Amino acid sequence: MMPLRKFEYKELGEGRMVVNIGPQHPSTHGVLRMVVEVEGERVIKIIPVIGYLHRGIEKIFENRTYIQGIPLTDRLDYLSSMANNMAYCRTVEELLDVKVPERAEYIRVIILELQRIASHLCSIGFYGNDVGVTFTAMMYTFRERERILDLFESLCGARLTYNYVRIGGVSQDLPQGFEERAKETLDVIEKQVDEYEDFFSDNEIFLRRTQGVGVLSAKDAVNLGATGPVLRGSGVKTDTRVTDPYTIYDRFDWEVITGKDGDCFSRYYVWLNEIRQSIGIVRQALKDLPEGEIKAKLPKVLKPKPGEAYGRIESPRGELAFHIISDGSTNPYRVKIRSPAFCNLSLLPHVAEGWLIADLIAILGSLDPVFGEVDR
Amino acid sequence: MVVPAEVGAIANLLANPWIRGAAGAVGFASVISGSLLILIWLERKFIARLQHRYGPNRVGKYGILQLVVDGIKLFTKEDIVPRDADKLIFTLAPIVGFAVALLPFLVIPIGENLIVSDLNIGILYLLAVSSLAVVPTLMAGWSPNNKYNLLGGMRAAAMMISYEVPMGLAIIGVVMLTGSLSMVDIVRAQEGMWFIIPQFIGFVVFVVAAFVEAARLPFDLPEAESELVQGWTTEYSGMKFAMLLFAEYIHSILASLLIAILFLGGWYGPVLPGPVWLLLKTFLVLLVLMWMRATVPRVRIDQLLNIGWKILIPLALLNIAITGIYKLV
């Protein structure tokens, strides 16, 4: 935690005051607290204070077996649990050196991309709230997200914390009719994404609120450790799905979306168009889906050889990685989570200082932090 | 049954300015408060449908009693005054706000002879009184000693003061065509043609300025819930909050009424009686106001002031020039 003693009143300049935004505030995306020094409406200095949702998940891992660790990952980025499951399982699989069956890999890609669509829909909807279209955009995007959640519900019974991706495969096969319903959902979402684009990108007020606001140059984005849509929004063409293809991402035909200016609009633009790319990936995966096993044969009690593994994937928020150290017992010795939301949130002072309070909220929304993952 | 003699007696009674004033005040206060309840319900329902949800539907048929329940809740809540607040001003702000919001209705002509007081400087009075609305806003913004309130109050002051200028300038065009400051005369001058046609630029300027004065999305910067929590009403709860909320809604109604009266021909219209026409027009403008609230993002304070000073005021001046040339020729 930051030392808050810096903000004693006698040190404040003429006409300045400290506004404490959060942890209870309508648009801090959870429980972020920002100690903001303002001059009138202009933001001079921001100190983000995190830790209000800290549950000690990394430590809890040490007291669980490898399989029992999967449900914990659901509680990280609660808008994209599948991606968290996947990142953890990928790392454990690396430790165990498991060969995952073909069908399981395809199912994983399908659900990961569906999860990315659901998560980006959330991001766009919440972003609407942040710039002031209270609820309208959010209700629309949630309508489509609901369809994906229904698909996931039919898949594993849960709508938020799935615990679906397992070490060596997935927990169960696709239910009957899943493929048809998934295709139908994709058609609907593809149409609706155009509607969102009309709603936002054609709106003069939205453009004025986002274009040129909170600019993060490509160089700064790399130096400050931005990842995911924020990094790509700044024009850096990188994606873990391409640079370190996990599962079978190298078999599909899609492109990495990048923004032009690194402003809030570019980040929104990346979300919107990544939904389109993900729709394409899911369609290809559904077409090629092979028959076969969905889970590798593994012993009931997993005891990886002593050693360590670092596995990373592209979660909807950026590069999510797990670093697991095994001492040869049934429980991991240490688990470290590299969470993209935390990395992106750490850019906030750099990006938002000097803008107005209204812009601060818009910029925070465009960095899209999820506090389950920031605080862990 | 009222017999004609009694009608005459009532008419005589109403000729007395004191009685007429008192009757008008009671009438307006009760009618507006009553219609507010329906209006808030309607807005919640309308916006809900635009936003792909149902809106209130639990209390009463179609949730029509929701507002009654909400009212009871607000009025029975504990009356909280923050510890460091300026208690007198904190308490006065909602009262002043509500009273000031009702004042302009004195000169609003609902129908042919349905006006509390046909002042010969009606529109001037209206502008003067409605500019008072900034006082309670600043009181509410400053007195609770809360930073969100303060920021909201300051935004409101900046907004309202800047937008009174284009609003007044837009009205000048109407006054020039009418040749009178009386509200009744302004409506009468529109018998042949509504002022929206000869005064289209003025209409556009006035609509934007009036919507800003009503402080609703996309111009709800003083409230700006995603930025300033609840803006200048953050520290208010219970009855005081209800009064501030009512005052806000009255401003919206007033803005719509003014647009209907100044530019959409007031009570004129075929078949139906005058007051019904005026209410219909007002209602249509209100619907547009609600529709906007559900569809556009909020503008930023510097952008808003730029629109006011750099676009609306030149436009309004241009309108005055055009109207002047038209009158001369």
- Runs of H (alpha helix) within A97-177: 102-131, 136-156
Answer yes or no: is A179 within a domain: yes
Of the candidates A130, A197, A203, the one whose C-alpha atom is nearest the C-alpha of residue A363 is A130
Distance CA A235, CA B314 (A): 40
Question: Would you say B209 and B216 are in contact if contact means Cβ atoms under 8 Å apart?
Answer: no
Nearest to A139 among B52, B151, B224 (CB): B52
Distance CA B17, CA B10 (A): 13
Query: First-to-last CA distance in chain B?
Result: 55
Q: What is the CATH number of the domain that holds A111?
A: 1.10.645.10
Distance CA B176, CA A140 (A): 47
pLDDT-based confidence at residue B1 (cuts at 50, 70, 90): very low
Model pLDDT, residue A11: 64
Distance CA A170, CA A149 (A): 17
SS3 A35: strand
Tell the burial category of B218 from Cβ atoms under 10 Å away from its Cβ (0-12, 13-18, 19+).
Answer: buried
For residues A20-39, average pLDDT: 84
pLDDT-based confidence at residue B7 (cuts at 50, 70, 90): low
Rounded to a whole number of angstroms, the distance from the CA of A7 to the nearest CA of chain B is: 16
Distance CA A225, CA A240 (A): 14
SS3 A38: strand
Q: How far is CA B161 from CA B123, B128, B135, B173, B302, in A?
A: 18, 12, 11, 20, 14
Residue B242's contacts (CB-CB under 8 Å, 6 or more residues apart) are B71, B74, B75
Distance CA B163, CA B157 (A): 10
Answer yes or no: is A312 within a domain: yes
Residues 83-122 of A with CB under 8 A from B: none
Contacts of A361 in chain B (CB under 8 A): 226-227
Residue in the block written with tokens 């909201």:
B152
Answer yes or no: is A43 within a domain: no
What whole-number percentage of chain A has pLDDT above 70?
Answer: 97
Q: Highest mean pLDDT range out of A321-335, B170-184, B213-227?
A: A321-335
pLDDT-based confidence at residue A10 (cuts at 50, 70, 90): low
Answer yes or no: is A232 within a domain: yes
Distance CA A32, CA A22 (A): 6
A26 and B51: CB-CB below 8 Å?
Answer: no
Question: Would you say A40 and A81 are in contact if contact means Cβ atoms under 8 Å apart?
Answer: no
ipTM of the complex: 0.81
A357 and B217: CB-CB below 8 Å?
Answer: no
B52 and A19: CB-CB below 8 Å?
Answer: no
Answer yes or no: is A248 within a domain: yes
Model pLDDT, residue B200: 86
Mean pLDDT of chain A: 87
Nearest to B147 among A19, A128, A206 (CB): A19
Question: Would you say B111 and B278 are in contact if contact means Cβ atoms under 8 Å apart?
Answer: yes
Answer yes or no: is A347 within a domain: no
Distance CA A275, CA A141 (A): 12
For residues B238-257, average pLDDT: 87
Tens of pLDDT, residue by residue over A119-132, are 999 999 889 888 88
Question: Would you say B251 and B213 are in contact if contact means Cβ atoms under 8 Å apart?
Answer: yes
Distance of CA B264 to the CA centre of its chain: 16
Tell the burial category of B7 from Cβ atoms under 10 Å away from its Cβ (0-12, 13-18, 19+).
Answer: exposed
Q: How far is CA A160 from CA A118, A149, A156, B195, in A?
A: 11, 8, 10, 57
Query: First-to-last CA distance in chain A?
Result: 15
Contacts of A139 in chain B (CB under 8 A): 51-53
Output the DSSP codes for A342-355. Answer: HHHHTTHHHHHTTS
Of the candidates A276, A95, A102, the one whose C-alpha atom is nearest the C-alpha of residue A186 is A276
Model pLDDT, residue A241: 87
Answer yes or no: is A319 within a domain: yes
What whole-number percentage of chain B has pLDDT above 90?
Answer: 1
Q: Count of CB contacts below 8 A, A vs B?
A: 80
Distance CA A331, CA B244 (A): 59
CB of B305 within 8 Å of a chain A CB? The answer is no
Angle subtended by helix axes A81-96 and A102-131, to nearest 10 = 140
Structural domain span for residue A237 = 57-340
Tens of pLDDT, residue by residue over B115-137, are 777 778 888 888 888 888 888 98
Residue in the block written with tokens 């020729």:
B329
Peptide bond into A306 cis (omega under 30): no
Model pLDDT, residue B296: 86
Residue in the block written with tokens 């209907």:
B260
Distance CA B174, CA B261 (A): 11
Contacts of A357 in chain B (CB under 8 A): 151, 227-228
Contacts of B221 in chain A (CB under 8 A): 358
Tens of pLDDT, residue by residue over A218-268, are 888 899 889 989 999 898 888 888 888 888 888 888 888 888 888 899 999
Helix (H) or strand (E) holding A34: strand A33-39
Model pLDDT, residue A324: 92
Rounded to a whole number of angstroms, the distance from the CA of B227 to the nearest CA of chain A is: 6
Distance CA B80, CA A349 (A): 36
Output the DSSP codes for A293-352. Answer: -SB----SS--PPSEEEEEEEEETTEEEEEEEEE-SSSSEEEEEEE-HHHHHHTTHHHHH
Rounded to a whole number of angstroms, the distance from the CA of A156 to the nearest CA of chain B is: 28
Of the candidates B43, B41, B129, B143, the one whose C-alpha atom is nearest the C-alpha of residue B91 is B143
* Count of alpha carbons within 13 angstroms of residue A226, beta-carbon side: 30
Peptide bond into A245 cis (omega under 30): no
Distance CA B320, CA B322 (A): 5
Domains in chain A: how many in total? 1
DSSP B309: I
Strands A42-49, A33-39: pairing kind: antiparallel
Mean pLDDT of chain B: 84
Contacts of A17 in chain B (CB under 8 A): 147
Model pLDDT, residue A325: 92
What whole-number percentage of chain B has pLDDT above 70?
Answer: 97
B147 and A41: CB-CB below 8 Å?
Answer: no
Distance CA A317, CA A29 (A): 14
Question: Would you say residue B231 has pLDDT above 70?
Answer: yes
Of the candidates B170, B201, B171, B157, the one whose C-alpha atom is nearest the C-alpha of residue B305 is B157
The CA-CA-CA angle for residues B97, B154, A349, to 5°, reads 140
For residues B5-27, average pLDDT: 75
Residue in the block written with tokens 């309308």:
B46
Q: How far is CA A294 from CA A174, A244, A284, A307, in A?
A: 9, 23, 19, 27
For residues B259-287, average pLDDT: 85
Per-residue burial over A101-139, b = 16 or more CB atoms within 10 Å of its CB, e = otherwise: bbbbbbbbbbbbbbbbbbbbbbbbbbbbbbbbbbbbbbb
Q: Whole-prediction pTM value? A: 0.86
A130 and B226: CB-CB below 8 Å?
Answer: yes
Paired tokens of B300: 């930023």
SS3 A39: strand
